[in-house]
């Protein structure tokens, strides 16, 4: 049920990012706001699951996921680039994971000033459990959509990613 101004909100409904856009707005704006809303909803559900089930955070999970794919480890700068956050953010997460015995730092052979971060055996075991729970939660969240709809959406989002990547890189690399 829509209210009288056709914004799609009804009394008592919680507005989200896309709720401020009027139906007459350009489709690209409405599409972006819908994508952002869906991303936030999914991320919040995953964040809540990681916290409730494992007492951990999504950034810790993301960092461990990258390390799990790199048996030889990764430099802090590589992790920073992959996770699209600052080196300072990575340092804080690595410090926590190291304190918990889930990662270890080793001096890089090529540059003694930098460290290579690796999962410990305990970290690998812990990450396997986290990963299984994460995959199950993602499957649960997407279960209302059949496989065909998921595949269609995946293909459309691949086209969007390919189309916008050059513009986004140019904007991010422009001098400020």
Question: What is the pLDDT tens value at each position of the chain, 176 positions in all?
Answer: 333 333 444 444 667 888 888 889 999 999 999 999 999 999 999 999 999 999 999 999 999 999 999 989 999 889 998 898 888 889 999 999 999 999 999 987 777 778 899 999 999 999 999 999 999 999 999 999 999 999 999 999 999 999 999 999 889 888 87
CATH 1.10.10.10 fits 56-130, yes or no: yes
* Dist CA 37 CA 34 (whole Å): 5
Pairing of strands 115-119, 103-107: antiparallel
The Cα–Cα gap between 107 and 1 comes to 61
Sign, CA dihedral 64-66-69-74, equals negative
Q: Which residues contact 158 (CB under 8 A, 6 or more apart)?
A: none
CB-CB contact of 150 with 142 (8 Å) = yes
The pLDDT, as a whole number, for residue 14 is 65
How far apart CA 65 and CA 59 sit, in angstroms, is 10
pLDDT at residue number 13: 62
pLDDT given at position 1: 32
Confidence (pLDDT) at 88: 86
How many whole angstroms separate alpha carbon 16 and alpha carbon 36?
A: 9
> Do residues 127 and 65 touch, judged by C-beta distance below 8 A?
yes
Q: Tell me, what's the pLDDT at 20?
A: 85
Single pTM value for the model: 0.80
Would you state the pLDDT for residue 123? 97
Cα–Cα distance between 131 and 142 in angstroms, integer? 16
| Total Cβ atoms within 10 A of residue 147 | 8
Q: What 3-state class would DSSP assign to 117?
A: strand
Q: Cβ distance 56 to 64 under 8 Å?
A: no
Domain locations along the chain: 1-55, 56-130
């Amino acid at each position: 049920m829509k209210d009288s101004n056709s914004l799609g909100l009804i009394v008592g409904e919680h507005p989200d990012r896309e709720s401020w856009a009027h139906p007459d707005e350009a489709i690209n704006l409405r599409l972006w706001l819908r994508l952002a809303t869906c991303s936030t909803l999914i991320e919040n559900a995953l964040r809540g699951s990681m916290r409730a089930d494992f007492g951990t955070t999504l950034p810790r999970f993301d960092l461990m996921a990258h390390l799990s794919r790199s048996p030889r480890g990764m430099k802090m700068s590589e992790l920073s680039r992959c996770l699209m956050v600052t080196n300072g953010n990575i340092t804080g997460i690595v410090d926590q994971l190291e304190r918990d015995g889930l990662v270890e730092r080793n001096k890089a052979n090529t540059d003694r000033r930098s460290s290579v971060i690796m999962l410990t055996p305990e970290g690998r075991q812990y990450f396997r459990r986290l990963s299984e729970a994460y995959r199950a939660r993602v499957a649960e969240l997407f279960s209302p959509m059949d496989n065909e709809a998921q595949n269609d959406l995946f293909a459309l989002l691949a086209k969007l990613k390919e189309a916008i990547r050059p513009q986004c890189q140019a904007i991010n690399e422009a001098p400020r």
